[in-house]
């Protein structure tokens, strides 16, 4: 049963009719006192609460009621209803424990999606609390699809269990973690275990999109919308409609683009450049960052309302050094794959090599480990990989940016120096084109030209 709390009888009637059409039972309350009385009489699963109940539009009465509800019914999910002018108030409500906030005028489809998501998350949390038995990787793999995610560290297993439980909902997910910890794999797992798994999964590296191209890339454009728009372009949101969009490096987004993104995530509508017609969006949003967004919010570099919109569920990935017992499993997984790639079926790895790798500091985490294993396999002369094979490749790691040592005059040409610096930067930044370009003071286009000129391999999708 859903409790609807609003002083406007038309709003209550509209919400009640909408929910009843979807099979929900409802009760209504017109003010805080009535809401508390009704809540004592019925076992509600969800409350939808307006923020204002008087001439005073500060929203203080709504905040006070929310605090009372969270104190009396801590497990009851509460969805707030607010206008764009009081989103700051809704953000305050999220801090106090609200499950979500909806802006007026709302989209019926999005409101129903928010209701189902809040109920599903609540049910998942209760199931997690009552679940018995020890958690093992075998049990998780019997319930969920976690292919390509290697490891059985207890911290990782708890994280995967959480992913499995929230995936069937439409809750937005924020994945935090250092570079190379596998954030994209987790995003794919969320999609693969969701009800949208048969729909598109679209990856977007926001760090590689300039503010001037943000609208065109994300929302698309019509031919003639601007000078260089010679043909229609489909935006990333349209590509991902009905499915999941993965917004990587969201911490790199400038403030102007954050406003545009918030509008889309809030209203679930967007406009193609050159076309004034609004289009509806049905989408699951998963974001990732290696930056501390909470700190960026404090510094005024990231919008607080956007932060609360994207982190309904937060997932913090452990660094590889925090799950070192998984390193042998990862190395064996990489070696098994490389056996086929390089046609070396007899390839094995010694126990001493695995032990040495467990104690190796890898600032690039899993991605750096994978690159080290592949380099070692490429140059190893014997079928058994020893610790010395890995040591030789680890010692050849490129110097970090900031190393001012230069080769002696006459030992390298300018082209060789340029190629060497690009190769070192690509290795240091794990082939992230945007970061390499910024570090070298180049545009992405200029970096691509040099990569092609020097035949340096790269992933066009980066």
Helix (H, G, I), strand (E, B) or coil at 205: strand
Report how far residue 170's alpha carbon sits from residue 92's, in angstroms, rounded to the nearest whole number. Answer: 22
Residue 436 has pLDDT above 90, yes or no: no
Report how far residue 47's alpha carbon sits from residue 29's, in angstroms, rounded to the nearest whole number. Answer: 10
Q: Supply 115's token pair.
A: 């209701």
Tokens 């974001």 identify what position? Answer: 287
Does residue 97 share a domain with residue 206? no
Cα 322 to Cα 80, 152, 359, 361: the distances in Å are 38, 12, 12, 11
Q: What percentage of the chain carries pLDDT values higher than 90?
A: 47
Q: What is the mean pLDDT of residues 397-411?
A: 52
Does residue 122 share a domain with residue 174? no
Please state the φ and ψ torsions of residue 411, each to the nearest 5 degrees. Answer: -90, -20
Does residue 362 share a domain with residue 280? no
Residue 371: CATH number of its domain: 1.10.8.60
Find out whether 232 and 220 touch, Cβ atoms under 8 Å.
yes
Does residue 203 share a domain with residue 105? no
Q: Is residue 184 part of a domain?
A: yes
- The total number of structural domains that make up the chain: 4
Does residue 162 share a domain with residue 294? yes
Listed as own residue / partner, the contacts of 78-83 with beta carbons closer than 8 Å and 24 or more positions apart are 78/46, 78/47, 78/48, 78/49, 79/46, 79/47, 79/48, 79/49, 79/114, 79/115, 79/118, 80/49, 80/50, 80/51, 81/6, 81/11, 81/48, 81/49, 81/50, 81/51, 81/106, 82/50, 82/51
* pLDDT per residue as tens digits for the range 262-321: 989 888 888 888 888 889 899 999 999 999 999 999 999 999 989 988 988 899 999 999
Does residue 418 share a domain with residue 357? no
The separation between the first and the last C-alpha atoms of the chain, rounded to the nearest angstrom, is: 47
Report how far residue 277's alpha carbon sits from residue 166's, in angstroms, rounded to the nearest whole number. Answer: 34
Residue 156: CATH number of its domain: 3.40.50.300
Cβ contacts of residue 375 below 8 Å, gap of 6+?
393, 396
Residue 101: CATH number of its domain: 3.40.50.2300
Q: Supply 355's token pair.
A: 């032990």
With 0-12 / 13-18 / 19 or more C-beta atoms within 10 angstroms meaning exposed / middle / buried, residue 114 is buried
Report how far residue 261's alpha carbon sits from residue 237's, in angstroms, rounded to the nearest whole number. Answer: 10
Does residue 84 share a domain with residue 153? no
* pLDDT per residue as tens digits for the range 222-252: 887 677 777 888 899 999 999 999 999 999 9
Q: What is the pTM of this model?
A: 0.75
Domain boundary among 338, 365, 395: 395
Q: Is residue 135 part of a domain?
A: no
pLDDT of res. 399: 43
pLDDT band at 412 (very low <50, low <70, confident <90, very high): low
Query: Domain limits at 448?
Result: 402-462
Q: What is the mean pLDDT of residues 152-180?
A: 92
Does residue 57 share a domain with residue 154? no
Does residue 306 share a domain with residue 158? yes
Residue 106 has pLDDT above 70, yes or no: yes
Higher pLDDT, 61 or 326: 326
Residue 143 has pLDDT above 70, yes or no: yes
* pLDDT per residue as tens digits for the range 2-22: 999 988 899 999 999 999 999
Report how far residue 328's alpha carbon sits from residue 306's, in angstroms, rounded to the nearest whole number. Answer: 39
pLDDT of res. 384: 94
């Amino acid at each position: 049963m859903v409790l609807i709390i609003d002083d406007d009888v038309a709003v209550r009637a509209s919400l009640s009719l909408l929910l009843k059409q979807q099979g929900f039972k409802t009760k209504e309350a017109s003010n805080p006192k009535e809401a508390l009385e009704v809540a004592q009489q019925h076992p509600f699963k969800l409350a939808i609460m307006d923020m204002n109940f008087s001439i005073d539009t500060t929203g203080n009465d709504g905040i006070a009621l929310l605090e009372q509800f969270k104190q009396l019914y801590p497990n009851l999910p509460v969805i707030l209803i607010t206008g764009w002018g009081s989103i700051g108030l809704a953000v305050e409500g999220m801090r106090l424990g609200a499950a979500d906030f909806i802006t007026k005028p709302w989209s019926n489809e999005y409101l129903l999606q928010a209701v189902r998501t809040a109920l599903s998350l609540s049910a998942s949390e209760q199931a997690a609390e009552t679940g018995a038995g020890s958690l093992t990787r075998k049990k998780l793999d019997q319930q969920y699809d976690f292919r390509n995610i290697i490891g059985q560290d207890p911290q990782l297993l708890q994280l995967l269990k959480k992913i499995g439980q929230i995936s069937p909902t439409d809750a937005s997910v924020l994945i935090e973690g250092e570079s190379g910890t596998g954030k994209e794999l987790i995003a794919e797992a969320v999609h693969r275990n969701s009800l949208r798994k048969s729909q598109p999964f679209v990856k977007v590296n926001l760090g590689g999109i300039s503010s001037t191209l943000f609208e065109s890339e994300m929302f698309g454009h019509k031919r003639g919308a601007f000078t260089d728009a010679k043909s229609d372009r489909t935006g990333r949101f349209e590509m991902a409609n009905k499915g999941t969009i993965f917004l990587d490096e969201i911490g790199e987004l400038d403030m102007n683009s954050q406003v545009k993104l918030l509008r889309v995530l809030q209203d679930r509508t967007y406009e193609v450049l050159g076309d004034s017609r609004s289009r509806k969006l049905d989408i699951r949003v998963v974001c990732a960052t290696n930056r501390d967004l909470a700190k960026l919010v404090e510094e005024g570099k990231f919008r607080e309302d956007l932060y609360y919109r994207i982190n309904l569920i937060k997932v913090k990935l452990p660094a590889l050094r925090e799950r070192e017992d998984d390193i042998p499993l990862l190395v064996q997984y990489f070696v098994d794959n490389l056996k086929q790639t390089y046609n070396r079926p007899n390839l094995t790895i010694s126990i001493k090599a695995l032990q040495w790798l467990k104690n190796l500091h890898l600032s690039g985490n899993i991605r750096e480990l994978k690159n080290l294993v592949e380099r070692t396999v490429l140059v190893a002369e014997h079928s058994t990989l020893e610790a010395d094979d890995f040591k030789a490749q680890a010692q050849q790691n490129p110097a970090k940016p900031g190393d001012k040592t230069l080769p002696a005059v006459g030992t390298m040409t300018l082209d060789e120096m340029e190629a060497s610096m690009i190769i070192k930067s690509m290795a240091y930044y794990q082939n992230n084109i945007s970061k390499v370009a910024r570090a070298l003071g180049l545009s992405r286009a200029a970096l691509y030209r040099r990569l092609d000129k020097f035949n340096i391999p790269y992933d066009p999708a980066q």
